[in-house]
Amino acid sequence: MKFSVTVTLKKDVLDPQGKVVENTLDNLGFKNLKSIRQGKFFEIEINENDQEKAKNTVKEMCEKLLVNLIIEDYKINKL
């Protein structure tokens, strides 16, 4: 069973990497860019047929390792 996880910085957390990309895109001539924020993306495959169980395992992986809950949010999607 396959899931995707997107990890983004919380709204009020500064995103210096995104800022650099934003400035670079502006320098490249993209003048209608309003904002860009960068995050992480994971594609996770689990050996588990019960969707509820598999999703809970992914959730546990996020909270134990993949996501820093103090500054980041995450979203899990079934693929």
Q: Which residues contact a copy of itself by CB under 8 A?
A: 4, 6-8, 18, 21, 24-25, 28, 30, 32-48, 57, 60-61, 64-66
Shortest separation between residue 70's beta carbon and a copy of itself, angstroms: 19
Which string of b and e fits 37-62 if b means at least 16 CB within 10 Å? Answer: eeeeebebebeeeeeeebbebbeebb
Yes or no: say if 36 and 18 are a contact pair by the CB < 8 Å rule: yes
| CB-nearer residue toward a copy of itself: 39 or 76 | 39
Distance of closest approach, residue 48 Cβ to a copy of itself, in angstroms: 5
